[in-house]
Structure formats: structure tokens, C-alpha cells
Amino acid sequence: MEFYRIQDKIVSWQKIEKTIRKALFMRSRGMSQQEVAEKIGIDRTFLSRIEGLGELRKGQSIACIGFPIKNKEEIEALLKREGVDYIFLMTEQERQDFIQKRSGRELLNELMDLIARFRNFDVVICIGSDERIKLIEGILTGQQVISIEIGTSPIKEDKWVNPQEIEKILRMLKSLKR
């Protein structure tokens, strides 16, 4: 435990860190600064300043969903390196496991959760079959959806995704923010 004596107070660094982590977690889940401030008992302007201190990127929030991807690890590493906020990529085997290892109720709940999560992003990069892309574009009205078609539905095997195409899209999105 790390403590600081400041005049007649004893301050715990761990308590500060825990509170800031909780606040940032709540903000990353979509709560407003005011809601978080009221919930954990801090001033909204303080929370705004904390966010400003740690800000790495300002502008559009970006997510990526894609399946079935042969070079999943390569694309995932590229997206992480470029600061994509949320990544959901699967191989064909992972997609089959995702479906088969859940009951109907669990699958529906998880899909609804994913839809809600993706609706929180300004831009969604969608990598998939022609039919999956149409479906995702229909669900994510209001967001900018950038589609990369990797085949005609149904795709039953992993498809290679061109990393240069992903880089080109991300460069374009970064240039729009300036």
C-alpha cells in the first residue's frame, strides 16, 4: 500500500487508482460523465480532466467484426496496433464452436449483446460473406459500415484477408479525422 501524508490527511494511492479505473470502465461501457460522477461520488469536471490526461486518440470509435478469417492473428495484430477499439474475429472452427457450444437462449443473448456493443461505435469494419455483410449493414443503421467481402454465402472455409486493404481503410479513416 502506498500512502501520502498531505497536511492533516492520509491519502491512499490504491484507492485513487481503483476509483479512476472504475470510472473509466463505466465510461467505456457507455455511461455519461455525469452518470459516472454521480455514481462514484466525484466531480464531472474532474473526470473530464482525467480522461484528457490519458487520451491517446480523439475522434471516431472503430470496431471490426469478421469471419471466417484464415490469417486471423495477423489481422487482429494489425487492428490492435492501429488502435481499433473493439475486435471480434473468428476462424470457421471458432465460428462453429461459438454456435454449437451454446443453447438457443445463450446464443440469442450473446448475439444481442454483440449487436448492442457494435452499435456504440461510429465506424464498423465488417469482413465476411455477401449475405453477412448485408445483414450487419441492416442491423447497424446509423453507423458507418465499411465492408470487405471475402466470398459468397455460405462460406464454409477460412478465407485470407489482405492486410494492405485493412491498412488502407484505417489510413483513410485517420485522414478523415483531421
Q: Are 150 and 92 in contact (CB under 8 A)?
A: no
Amino acid 50: pLDDT = 87
Give 72-75 contacts, CB < 8 A, sequence gap 24+. 72/158, 74/163, 75/127, 75/161, 75/163, 75/166
What is the reported pTM?
0.67
Amino acid 48: pLDDT = 87
Provide the mean pLDDT of the chain.
Answer: 91
- Check pLDDT > 80 for residue 121: yes
pLDDT, tens digit, for every residue of 41-71?
999 888 888 888 875 445 688 999 999 999 9
Domain borders along the chain are 3-54, 62-176
Instruction: Report, at the CATH architecture level, how domain 62-176 is classified.
Output: 3-Layer(aba) Sandwich (3.40)
pLDDT, tens digit, for every residue of 7-39?
999 999 999 999 999 999 889 888 889 999 999
Residue 136 confidence class, pLDDT cut points 50, 70, 90: very high
Please name the residue ranges forming H helices in the chain. Answer: 13-28, 33-40, 44-54, 72-81, 92-100, 104-118, 130-139, 163-176
Q: Report the C-alpha gap between 142 and 64 in whole angstroms.
A: 16
pLDDT, tens digit, for every residue of 66-103?
999 999 999 999 999 999 999 999 999 999 999 999 99
Amino acid 52: pLDDT = 80
Average the pLDDT over 117-145 and give the result: 92
pLDDT, tens digit, for every residue of 160-171?
999 999 999 998
